[in-house]
Amino acid sequence: MSKILISGGTGYIGSHTIVQLLESGYEVISIDNYLNSSPTAISGIEKITNKQLKNYDVDLCDMEKTSKIFNEHPDIVGIIHFAALKAVGESVEKPVWYYRNNLNSLLNLLECCIKYEIPNFIFSSSCSVYGNITDLPVTEDSPLSAAESPYAHTKQVGEDMVRQVLKNAKTQSIILRYFNPAGAHPSGLLGESPIYAALSLVPIIAEVGNGKRPELTVHGDDYQTRDGSCIRDYIHIVDLADAHIQALDFLIAGKQEDHNEIFNLGIGKGVTVLEAIDAFEKVSGTKLNYKIGPRRVGDVVAVYADYSKAKELLGWEPKYNIQDIMSTAWEWEKNKA
């Protein structure tokens, strides 16, 4: 079995990807210091897969402790780097924290790639690198506009770091630009469960529906969109996790021609905030209490993906839609209540 190191393994995307990796026959070790995740994710992973997971409670910004993990596991053949702070609004409020955490942790892992000759590296990036896009859908060749938030800028800089640091290394790399991950594992045993208050739309919707929050604020209804609210491309978390397996298989099989490759991951359809609310109300049978508020600093107007490159080279296609996202998120919310 090939051994894969996952950073941020108890986080939302990391935990679902670990499930897919274990079910695909990979051996997995995780690094996560539970900055905004919980050890309970390990329990969910183990219940779904019937396999044990080793997680190291280590801050990746600590190079000495990070290096010890690589010394302990000299047979690592790939790294998937998820660990990062990710909230747009929070990054505007605390930019220094975001730059220090997201970039130092990445730099340490890249240095380990060189030092320990790790052959494969996958970087978790974001559609936020595109900024405000005028031509939709977004392709991998779409120009990157100025970042709308410190979080988005850490992803732009992070992508450059991956390309430049590994340019002459023995490590092949893939950058995966996610659109908006949402939903939960169909088993109901795993989902989005941050330590702090949820900041993403779908879990907030579910919490309002379950009475944990009094109401939802829609940040702006005067954008130039079909109903005035922002448009996003919501991709089911299981589809997103599956794309990482396809990308890893692609790297390990030696199919990559360029030293670094970039792929968009979305379902290729834009959904407005108000349409997402409507989808939740229909699948849950619950009327949502929401209000219209002012625009939020850092939000782009509309963004959704062209995923044809991932389809062509990785053989990946999304299987779930916005209704599936809402139904699984709702089941997860009720189960963890």
The answer to whether 60 touches 66, Cβ cutoff 8 Å, is yes
Separation of alpha carbons 86 and 235, rounded Å: 16
Residue of 12, 56, 98, 151 marked active site: 151
Neighbouring C-alpha atoms within 13 Å toward the C-beta of 261: 17
Residue 151 annotated in active site:
yes
Collapsing DSSP to helix, strand or coil, 125 comes out as: strand
The sign of the CA dihedral 252, 253, 256, 261 is negative
The answer to whether 159 touches 129, Cβ cutoff 8 Å, is yes
Which residues lie below 8 Å from residue 23, measured CB to CB, with a gap of 6+?
Answer: 49
Q: Parallel, antiparallel, or unpaired: how do β-strands 27-31 and 231-232 relate?
A: unpaired
Query: Residue 17 corresponds to which tokens in the numbers above?
Result: 């990807």
CA distances from 21 to 15, 51, 263 (A): 10, 11, 19
Separation of alpha carbons 329 and 245, rounded Å: 22
Query: Residue 44 corresponds to which tokens in the numbers above?
Result: 């969910």
Q: Which residues are catalytic?
A: 151
